[in-house]
Amino acid sequence: MNYQDVLFLDKHDPLAAKRQEFSLPADCIYLDGNSLGALPLAAHKRASEVVSEQWGNDLIQSWNKHQWIDLPRQVGEKIAPLVGAAPGQVICCDSISVNLFKLLCSALHMQPDRKLVVSQADNFPTDLYMVQGVSELLSSERCTLQMVSEDTIENALNDQVAVLLLSQVNFRSGKLLDMQKITQKAHKKGILVIWDLAHSAGAFQVELDQCQVDFAVGCGYKYLNGGPGAPAFLYVAKRHQQFVQQPLSGWMGHKAPFKFDAQYIASEGVQQYLCGTPPILSMSVLDAALGVYEKLDMDLLRKKSVGLSELFMQSVDQYEVLSDLHLHSPLQAEHRGSQLAYQHPAAYAICQNLIARGVIGDFRAPDILRFGFTPLYLRYEDIWQAVKILAEIIGDKTYLDEKYTTEQKVT
Ligand SMILES: Cc1ncc(COP(=O)(O)O)c(C=O)c1O
C-alpha cells in the first residue's frame, strides 16, 4: 500500500466525521486510546456544566433536579447495548478491581461445594490479585486461584471449578478469546463465568446475553473515553439476580437508602451492587462521553479497527529496519481485539522516543510496545505516519539517548 492508497482510505472512511467529536492535541498521533481514551467535546462541556451549574448553583438539589441519584443506572443502560446486554443488567460503579471483588464473592456464594477460581496466568494482574485477596479473606477452603496458560483454559474446566475469570482480550498481546465457546464449555461443567471487558467494551460489539455470560466487568476510561479514573461497570445476568448477594453492602445498594434503617436489605436487581455515593463528576463525564457511541454502527467500527491494525502490520513489514520487531499479537484479525503488541529488547526507550516525536503508544513490561487502534478518532494517515516515525527512530537509533532510557514512575 502506498501513501495515495492511505489517503483514499481516509477519504472514503464512513467514520471519518467522528473525529470532529473529540478534542485532540495538534501534532499528536494517539495510539493509546486503549489505556486512556481521548476527550470527547461533549464530555468537556458536561464537566464544566456539572461543576459550574449543577454543583456550583444547584448544590444539593441536584441529586433530584439533575437526577444525580440515577446516574449509575443511566450510565449502565448506555453501556448495555455496547456489551450486548438487555436493560436491567449493567450498572456503573467503582473500579474493575472492586467490582471483581463483589462478583467473585457472589459467584463463590452460588457455588458452595466448589472452591477453584481458574484464570489466565497472564491475565491483568489486578484480576489475579483480587482472587488472592478473596482467598485470604474467605480461606483457601472457599477460594483457591488456579492459573492456567491461555492455550489450556478448556482443559482446566472440570467439576471442581467454581468460577472461570477471563479477560476477553489479553491486555498485552491483544488476543481475543471465543466468549461463546468458552462460556458454553464452562457451563457444561457447572462453572460460572466472569468476563473482564476492559479491552473489549467500546472496541467492538460484545454479546453478553447471546453468549449467556453470568457476570462481567469493564472500565470507563479506555475505549469508552470517560476520562482518567472514570468509574467502571458490571453486568449480572438477569437469571441470577434474585439469587445473588454481595458483601460490600453499602447504603447505595440498600433497598431504601433514604429510610436510614439500621438493618441492611439489599436492593433488587443489579442496583444491589452499588456501595457508596457515586462519583458524580466523573460519572457525568462518562455519561456525556458515551454519546459518541449513539447510533454508531458497531460493524463499521470493527471493520475500521481491523483496517487500521492491518495497515500498521503491513507498514511495519515494509521497513527493513523494523525487522527486529517481533509481533506478539495473533496474526489473524479475528483473533485480536483492537491493539497490536510488538516485542523489542529496547521497547521502553523506543516508546519514550516515539512519545517525544508525537506518537503516543505504551510500553508493557518487560519488552512490549503496545499500540491501540481507536477508530472513532484515528485516521489511516496517522498509522502510516506513526510507522514511518517508528522506522526513523529504530533506523537512526535515536532511542539509545539516555533521556529515553530512564524509567518514569508510570510506564
Ligand atoms: C484487563 C484489565 N482489567 C482490569 C484493569 C484495571 O482496572 P481498575 O483499575 O478499574 O481496577 C485493567 C487496566 O488496564 C485491565 O487492562
**pLDDT by residue (tens digit) across 17-63?**
999 999 999 999 999 999 999 999 999 999 999 999 999 999 999 99
**How many C-beta neighbours within 10 Å does residue 129 have?**
14
Cell 474467605: give the residue: 138
pLDDT at 407: 80
94, 95, 99, 126, best to mutate for ligand 1 pocket (most atoms within 8 Å of CB): 126
Q: Which three cell numbers stand for residue 266?
A: 439489599
pLDDT at 406: 83
| Rounded distance from Cα 196 to ligand 1 centre (Å) | 8
Question: Is 97 a pocket residue for ligand 1 (Cβ < 6 Å)?
Answer: yes
The three-state secondary structure class of 172 is: coil
pLDDT at 410: 76
Question: Is 217 a pocket residue for ligand 1 (Cβ < 6 Å)?
Answer: no
Find residue 166's DSSP bridge partners: 195
What is the atom index within ligand 1 of the atom nearest the CA of 100?
11
Q: What pairing do the DSSP bridges indicate for beta strands 144-148 and 116-120?
A: parallel
Between the CA of residue 163 and those of 62, 92, 130, 133, 234, what are the distances in Å? 41, 23, 13, 15, 16
* Cα(149)–Cα(329) distance, integer angstroms: 15
Question: Is 219 a pocket residue for ligand 1 (Cβ < 6 Å)?
Answer: yes
What is the atom index within ligand 1 of the atom nearest the CA of 123?
1
* Cα(341)–Cα(364) distance, integer angstroms: 9
- Could you write out the three-class secondary structure of 277-317? CCCHHHHHHHHHHHHHHCCCCHHHHHHHHHHHHHHHHHHHH
Between the CA of residue 270 and those of 4, 92, 275, 277, what are the distances in Å? 51, 10, 12, 16
pLDDT at 1: 84
Question: Is 163 a pocket residue for ligand 1 (Cβ < 6 Å)?
Answer: no
Q: Whose C-alpha lies nearest to ligand 1, atom 7?
A: 96
Q: Whose C-alpha lies nearest to ligand 1, atom 8?
A: 96
Question: Is 171 a pocket residue for ligand 1 (Cβ < 6 Å)?
Answer: yes
Question: Is 232 a pocket residue for ligand 1 (Cβ < 6 Å)?
Answer: yes
What is the atom index within ligand 1 of the atom nearest the CA of 222?
14
Closest CA to 337 of 207, 242, 205: 205
What is the atom index within ligand 1 of the atom nearest the CA of 98?
11
Cell 467522528: give the residue: 18
Closest CA to 396 of 356, 350, 360, 362: 350
Binned average pLDDT, 10 residues per bin, the chain of 411 residues: 95 98 96 96 98 98 98 98 98 98 98 98 98 98 97 97 98 97 98 98 98 98 98 98 97 98 97 98 98 97 98 97 97 98 97 97 94 98 98 97 85 70
Tell me the pLDDT tens digit for each residue of 367-410. 999 999 999 999 999 999 999 999 999 999 999 999 998 887 77
Question: Is 100 a pocket residue for ligand 1 (Cβ < 6 Å)?
Answer: no
pLDDT at 134: 98
CA angle 5, 368, 396 (to 5 degrees): 65
| Rounded distance from Cα 127 to ligand 1 centre (Å) | 8
pLDDT at 376: 98
| Rounded distance from Cα 351 to ligand 1 centre (Å) | 21
* Cα(246)–Cα(267) distance, integer angstroms: 11
Question: Is 129 a pocket residue for ligand 1 (Cβ < 6 Å)?
Answer: no
Question: Is 362 a pocket residue for ligand 1 (Cβ < 6 Å)?
Answer: no
What is the atom index within ligand 1 of the atom nearest the CA of 221?
10
Give the residue numbers marked as catalytic.
124, 196, 221-222, 370
